[in-house]
Chain A
Amino acid sequence: MDLTFIYDSFVRLLGGVPLTLQLAFSSIGIGLVAAILLALMMRAWFRPIAWVAESFVFVFRGTPLLVQIFLIYYGLGQFRPVLDEMGIWWFFRSPYYCALLALTLNTAAYGAEIVRGGLQSIPAGQIEAARAFGMSGLTLYRRIVAPIALRQALPAYGNEIILMIKATSLVSTITLMEVTGLAHKIISETFRSFEVFFAAGAIYLIINFAMTRLIGFAEYKIAPDLDRANRPAEVH
């Protein structure tokens, strides 16, 4: 085990961290908006709208992300003339945008199920009480539904964020040089997989550890009264 080499690899791999984080956060951000829309669509009174959202979620949750990435990046290349004519070929030509699109659609599908679960968890009595107070429409959503659903959904959404950070590693298969892509490059140059693995693994563990703490802090912030884990231990 060569410590200087691990350190050198670690420093080189840090160059991939911005791309990893950028992909993870952009896809999670856009994906969350899409997830909320999908969850609302699934509750639509007009069933065909719900079917569209349900089929989307079914397909994206039922297939590997890697296949989705390949389908978008390589698969859509088959329709290049059409995409060229529509003026959107620049988007599908770029591995970055294709990766971002695949990650966003994927996390939107998983997120939709989490948001749906959060919305379902709201006790009917709370909504009835709010209506009795004269709230309706947006006010009801803003004051009652959203806060309760957020509390309910945040732990599961935290898991999804960690999964997405790990999932960004797959974009290295379409030539993007984020942390895993760089790790693969260093391994192929030096054939020293153990050292590179330690360095890359450490980077992901640090990122995910920080994210876990941040999510835990957010959970505490939005529901301090419900928090049990951070209370001082009871004295027996």
Chain B
Amino acid sequence: MQAKSFFELMQWGPQGWLDEMVFATGLTLAVAIVGFLFGLLFGTVAATAKLSGSGLARRVADVYTTVLRGIPDLLVIYLFYFGGSAVVTSIGQMMGAQGFIGLPGFLVGTLAIGIVSGAYQTEVIRGAYLAIPPGEIDAARAFGLSGLALLRRIVGPQVMRYGLPGMGNIWQLVLKESALVAVVGLSITLSEIRLADLVVFFETRFSDLLRQAHVAAGSTRQPFVFYITAVAFYLVLTTASTWIFRRAETWATRGMRRV
């Protein structure tokens, strides 16, 4: 059989793989965004704990950031995938269900990425908070601002401004980390995301970019073509992110004095 050329393989539609690869890039982006947002949540909580007066909260947060930054991400993903399923299965058996219950890959993958990136985000948020000149907070208090108003008007905007460059770096990490979910075989059936009504797509499975490349490589026996395409799509994602974050930084520092 004559091997197909690159352009034959990369057609849009049922003959080629371009549409699958583009959708897979979309899922990779979705995993990264949701994982990053989970991380923002964990990071904010841990940063608050670290900045709080409570010794216990600070120690717990210290353990969290030290451990999660010291072990490989893949290990965390394995823990969430196998451990999470084990917990759900045993709960299910208590309630009378039978057999092994798998967790949705999307939830497990994004939570694992969130826990890991949250450990890095903690330090960025903490650093950004400490970068706020204490005089500004004193001044705000003198104006009678406190609690939420202080957070919304003075602390929040400045944490975002000072934290943006660090967050940009973490976003790039998360984007690349999202490739790891391919290892536990993240693919969501459309029924799982409750689009079952679209009967036409019912059987379609979306995979993340790396897994899709792996699947296509296996079925066409042209692995290099698909992995190099995955490389190109990842470069598009990271380059676009760099550009967006640079624009965001310009925007966020528009009111600051330039030295």
Task: Report A's interface with B, CB cutoff 8 A.
Answer: 58-59, 62-68, 70-71, 74-79, 162, 166-170, 172-173, 180, 183-184, 187, 191-194, 197, 200-201, 204-205, 208-209
Q: Which residues of B in the span 50-95 have a Cβ within 8 Å of any Cβ on A?
A: 66-67, 70-75, 78-79, 82-83, 86
Rounded to whole angstroms, the CA-CA distance of A74 and B234 in the bound complex is 18
A71 adjacent to B71 (CB under 8 Å): no
Closest 9 pairs (CB-CB, A-B):
A169-B72, A64-B179, A193-B82, A193-B83, A64-B176, A75-B224, A75-B227, A71-B227, A78-B224
Rounded to whole angstroms, the CA-CA distance of A47 and B78 in the bound complex is 45
Rounded to whole angstroms, the CA-CA distance of A70 and B211 in the bound complex is 11
B176 adjacent to A76 (CB under 8 Å): no
| B contact patch SS | helix
Tell me which residues across on chain B come within 8 A of A74, comparing CB atoms: 214, 217, 223, 227
The residue that B74 contacts in the complex, of A70, A180, A193, A209, with Cβ under 8 A, is A180
Tell me which residues across on chain A come within 8 A of B214, comparing CB atoms: 70, 74
- By beta carbon, the residue of chain B nearest A70 is B227
Apart from A77-B224, A201-B71, list 11 A-B contacts with CB within 8 A: A59-B235, A67-B213, A67-B234, A74-B223, A75-B223, A75-B226, A166-B71, A166-B73, A172-B74, A193-B82, A205-B67
Known: A197-B79, A204-B71. A64 touches B210 (CB 8 A): yes
Tell me which residues across on chain A come within 8 A of B210, comparing CB atoms: 64, 66-67, 70
24 A-B pairs in the complex with CB atoms less than 8 angstroms apart: A62-B234, A62-B235, A64-B176, A64-B180, A65-B176, A66-B179, A66-B180, A66-B182, A67-B234, A68-B231, A70-B210, A71-B227, A71-B228, A74-B217, A75-B224, A79-B224, A166-B70, A170-B72, A180-B78, A183-B75, A193-B82, A197-B83, A204-B72, A205-B66
Answer yes or no: B48 CB below 8 A from chain A CBs.
Answer: no
The residue that A180 contacts in the complex, of B75, B86, B222, B231, with Cβ under 8 A, is B75
Q: Closest CB of chain B to A173's CB: distance in Å?
A: 6
Q: Closest CB of chain A to B61's CB: distance in Å?
A: 17
Tell me which residues across on chain A come within 8 A of B75, comparing CB atoms: 169, 180, 183, 197, 200-201, 204
Answer yes or no: B159 CB below 8 A from chain A CBs.
Answer: no
Answer yes or no: B249 CB below 8 A from chain A CBs.
Answer: no
- How many contacting A-B pairs (Cβ < 8 A)? 120
Tell me which residues across on chain B come within 8 A of A193, comparing CB atoms: 78-79, 82-83, 86
Q: Which residues of B in the span 151-177 have a Cβ within 8 Å of any Cβ on A?
A: 176-177
Q: Mark B127-148, 1 if CB is under 8 A from A, else 0.
A: 0000000000000000000000
Answer yes or no: B230 CB below 8 A from chain A CBs.
Answer: yes
Tell me which residues across on chain B come within 8 A of A191, comparing CB atoms: 82, 86
Answer yes or no: B150 CB below 8 A from chain A CBs.
Answer: no
Rounded to whole angstroms, the CA-CA distance of A65 and B183 in the bound complex is 13
Q: Closest CB of chain A to B123's CB: distance in Å?
A: 12
A201 adjacent to B223 (CB under 8 Å): no
Rounded to whole angstroms, the CA-CA distance of A5 and B176 in the bound complex is 34
The residue that B223 contacts in the complex, of A63, A66, A77, with Cβ under 8 A, is A77
Tell me which residues across on chain A come within 8 A of B179, comparing CB atoms: 64, 66-67
Answer yes or no: B191 CB below 8 A from chain A CBs.
Answer: no
B230 adjacent to A62 (CB under 8 Å): no
- By beta carbon, the residue of chain B nearest A162 is B70
Answer yes or no: B204 CB below 8 A from chain A CBs.
Answer: no
Tell me which residues across on chain B come within 8 A of A180, comparing CB atoms: 72, 74-75, 78
Which of A76, A180, A193, A197 gathers the greatest number of chain B CB atoms within 10 Å?
A193
- By beta carbon, the residue of chain B nearest A203 is B71
Tell me which residues across on chain A come within 8 A of B86, comparing CB atoms: 191-194
- By beta carbon, the residue of chain B nearest A202 is B71
Q: Closest CB of chain A to B24's CB: distance in Å?
A: 12
Q: Closest CB of chain B to A203's CB: distance in Å?
A: 9
Tell me which residues across on chain B come within 8 A of A77, comparing CB atoms: 223-224
The residue that B78 contacts in the complex, of A71, A75, A197, with Cβ under 8 A, is A197
- By beta carbon, the residue of chain B nearest A77 is B223
- By beta carbon, the residue of chain A nearest B214 is A70
Rounded to whole angstroms, the CA-CA distance of A9 and B79 in the bound complex is 15
